[in-house]
Amino acid sequence: MIKRWRQILDRRYQQWITRRLPPIKKIRLDNRKLFIFPTRAGVVFLGLLVLLWLMATNFENNVVFAFTFLLAALFIIAVFHTFLNLSGLHIEGARASPGFAGQTAEFEYLLSQTGQRQRYSIEFSHPGVEPTVVSLTGGEVTSIYLAIPVNRRGWCQARRIRVHSVYPLGLLKVWTYLQFNSSALVYPQAIDTALPAQGAAGLGDKAPPENYMANNSGSEDFVGLEKYRLGESLRHIAWKQFAREQGLLTKHYADAIDDELWLDWELLPGLDSEARLSRLCAWTLGFSENQQPYGLRLPGVELAPGTGRAHRDAVLRELALFEQPKVAAGPV
């Protein structure tokens, strides 16, 4: 019963927080966004004050009164110091580095301030996770990285983060929840299977002969222009000819093509699409590591073979966003 009530309360609280603190790109913390309350240690401290006050009253000792009031004044002063440890801090949701489903994606946040205030022990965390503790000692920009576990491929919206500080005396806590609108790309989970044999991955009869004979992958000898077919990379469209109203043509290049690899959706029949993507993902990583050129063919998508990091990322991106919204909710 209590548990249910607690759940309801918690949900209400989360809704309220969301309403109050909508997703943002960057933010300057101020009194409208910060909450402040005594910590448990602060409540114990107040108990200590009551004890001292009782002692001062009963012994009718004005010096004890004075020191009791000094500690009470310290508590009040601490409210300002605690609050100002966070107030005025700028937080910007920056890049988010992609991750594989089942692992974590890392979100970067930039911390900065206009002044030279020394800020100590600010805790950043996703609720329920061990916090990252940062101290700012000047006007420099500091990055923090918060990882969240990701399960589904596609775009992953940043989670609400908790910014929390009890500096300087630990008597009061000041905190806020922030929802940034940055997103991380989540690649499919890489399910390791043996790499397909050289050529086997893409040399099957399903590959159209033209593509097999001549590809449009790169920098080799220019062969000629051919009519554009759906699925071909836009990068190779001959825009000059198009401008001269000669129709949509693509530039084709000759290549040493015998050992060309294609990671093809159609090669994995009988598996569901997530399983296929997972295997393709694992293969991508494998070939990329071996520095072998490889291409990607998904229904409606075709990336010509290539090597290098940029190529790998492009392939993984296609795998991640296959049949998913292509545009993230916010900056990547």
Partner 1 sequence: MRPLWQIPRDGLFWLLISVLISIALHFDHLPPWVALAGIVAALWQIQLYRERWRQPGRLLKWSLAGACGAGLLLHYGRMTGLEPMVALLFSGYILKLLEIHHRRDALVLLYLSYLIIILQSLFSTTIGASLLVLMALLPVTAALVAMHGSTDNSRPATALRTALSMTLQAMPLMLVMFIVMPRIGSLWAVPQQNSATTGVSDSMSPGDMTQLGRSGAVAFRVEFDGPIPAQHKLYWRGLVFSSFDGRRWEQQASKAYQDGQFLQWPNQPLAAWDKMIVRRGQALSYRVTLEATHSPWLFALSTPVSRSSSVALSRDFRLVNNEPVVSKLQYPVTSWLEHQLEPSSLPDWRHNIELALPAGYNPKTRAIAKQWREETPDIAALIDRLLGLFNREFIYTLRPPALGKHTVDEFLWGTKKGFCEFYASSFVFFMRAAGVPARVVVGYQGGERHPSENYLLVHQYDAHAWAEVWIEGQGWLRVDPTAAVAPQRIEISFADLFAEREGFLSASPFSLEHLRDIDWLNKLRLKLDAMDYAWSKWVLGYENIQNDFLLGLLGGITPQRIALLLLFAGGIALLPVFIMLYLSREKSTRDQLDRLFLQYCTRLEDIGLARKPGEGPRDFAERIYQRAPSLTVPVDTLTQLYESARYSEIKVGDVQRFKVALKAFKPSRKALLSSSC
What does the alpha-carbon distance between residue 27 and residue 88 come to, in Å, rounded to a whole number?
A: 9
Of positions 69, 145, 175, 212, contacts partner 1 by CB under 8 A: 69
What does the alpha-carbon distance between residue 85 and residue 177 come to, in Å, rounded to a whole number?
A: 16
- Is 13 strand, coil or helix? helix
How many residues belong to the chain?
A: 332
Q: Which is nearer to partner 1, 44 or 248 (CB)?
A: 44
Q: Are 263 and 297 in contact (CB under 8 A)?
A: yes
Of positions 97, 103, 104, 121, contacts partner 1 by CB under 8 A: 121
Q: Least distance (Å) from partner 1 to the CB of residue 300? A: 40
Of positions 61, 193, 246, 290, contacts partner 1 by CB under 8 A: 61
Quote the DSSP letter at residue 101.
Answer: T
Phi, psi of 117 (to 5 degrees): -55, 140
175 binds partner 1, rule: CB under 8 A: no
Q: Are 133 and 122 in contact (CB under 8 A)?
A: yes
162 binds partner 1, rule: CB under 8 A: no
Of positions 100, 155, 167, 322, contacts partner 1 by CB under 8 A: 167
107 binds partner 1, rule: CB under 8 A: no
Q: Least distance (Å) from partner 1 to the CB of residue 183? A: 20
Of positions 64, 129, 147, 314, contacts partner 1 by CB under 8 A: 64
Interacting residues with partner 1 between 136 and 155 (CB under 8 A): 137-141
Q: Are 216 and 233 in contact (CB under 8 A)?
A: yes
What does the alpha-carbon distance between residue 76 and residue 252 come to, in Å, rounded to a whole number?
A: 75
Of positions 23, 88, 102, 131, contacts partner 1 by CB under 8 A: 88
Q: Least distance (Å) from partner 1 to the CB of residue 294? A: 40
Alpha helices by DSSP H, listed for 60-162, are 62-86
Token pair, residue 8, equals: 């309801």
Binding site for partner 1 (CB under 8 A): 26, 28, 41, 44-45, 48, 51-52, 54-55, 57-74, 76-78, 80-81, 84, 88, 90, 92, 110, 112-117, 120-121, 135, 137-141, 166-170
